[in-house]
Amino acid sequence: MLLQLLDEQPDATLEELVDRMAKRQKVRVSISTLSRRLIELGLTRKKRLSMPAKPTGPRSNKNANGSCAEASSDGPHGCFSSTRPASTCR
């Protein structure tokens, strides 16, 4: 039954699989039980990226306050802050 659910929706989360099993089989299992069973079957629930990963390359030089030295942030082509440093300035 579990493999059939995975075939129908390969990108389902563990929580979604638990809910679908409860609806179809009238059996409620915990997320950890379902996770252990998937591991026993040799399956992982790590989601695949919808796009290939970008190759890593050299990072742009940034000054201490996190802004780009070659562009200002007041225009549409300036630098944008994020939780990860950007690979290039815009």
- 37-60 pLDDT per residue, tens: 999 999 876 656 566 666 776 766
Nearest CA to 27 out of 2, 64, 47, 57 is that of: 2
Averaged pLDDT for residues 13-19: 93
13/51: higher pLDDT: 13
Structure tokens at 60: 């742009």
pLDDT of residue 72: 46
In this predicted structure, the answer to whether residue 65 has a pLDDT above a threshold of 60 is: no
In this predicted structure, the answer to whether residue 23 has a pLDDT above a threshold of 80 is: yes
β partners of residue 68? 62
Averaged pLDDT for residues 22-46: 89
DSSP annotation of 76 reads T
